Amino acid sequence: MNKLMLAGAIAALPFLSYAELNVIADLGGQSAAPFYEGINAEPQPQQQSIQPDYSEGSVLPVATPELTPGIIEPRALKLPGIGALFLVGDDAQSQEWLSRNAELLSRRGAVGMVVNVSSSTSLQQLSQVAPALQLAPVSGSDLARRLKLEHYPVLITEHSLSQQVSAQ
């Protein structure tokens, strides 16, 4: 009887070695993969690494058809955790608004989305108007739809949406 059990166990060994692992918990930490690299290592064909271009110029021009320069009615919002975010374009109204409010926006730690900008030159002109502010060329389509927003320039905070910028 013992020989029969031993023969059955030996016959089952090849199947046991190919069993899948079940992850019970992943508590973080460092991967153990580097320790196993030499085991059953197969040569990999050389692949050329293609680095995506995330430079400013690669995203320009940026157009947000839902948003145009204009006047907005201030309104209350409930957006906890959003901080201070402002939307501008490369138009004259946005440049004037940014110039007039740059210091207050900087004091609030506001970050700017340039939602309509045609070129690197236009973006640089905006940056020169307010060098202390962070400006990123980004589509504002999703934000415009969610906030039912049609015009800019505008400051968006946790509590309000307005073209008037106050110290707090």
What string of DSSP letters covers the chain? -HHHHHHHHHHHHHHHTTPPP----------SHHHHTTTT--PPPP--------SGGGG-SB--TT-EE-----EE---TT---EEEEESSHHHHHHHHHHHHHHHHHT-EEEEEEB--HHHHHHHHHHSTTSEEEE---HHHHHHHT--EESEEE-SSEEES-----
pLDDT score for 64: 96
pLDDT score for 25: 56
Cα separation, 128 vs 3, whole angstroms: 87
* pLDDT, average across residues 67-80: 96
* pLDDT, average across residues 42-58: 58
The domains located in the chain, with CATH, are 56-162 (3.40.30)
pLDDT score for 166: 80
pLDDT score for 113: 96
Helix axes of 120-129 and 92-108: crossing angle, nearest 10 degrees: 50
Query: Which pTM value belongs to this model?
Result: 0.67
pLDDT score for 59: 83
The pLDDT tens digits for 94-118 are 999 999 999 999 999 999 999 999 9
Among the residues of 42-119, which ranges form H helices?
Answer: 92-108
pLDDT score for 21: 60
Residue 81 has pLDDT above 70, yes or no: yes
The pLDDT tens digits for 128-142 are 999 999 999 999 999
Q: 136, 147, 157: which is closest to 66 by C-alpha?
A: 147
**Would you place residue 68 in the very low, low, confident or very high pLDDT band (cuts 50, 70, 90)?**
very high
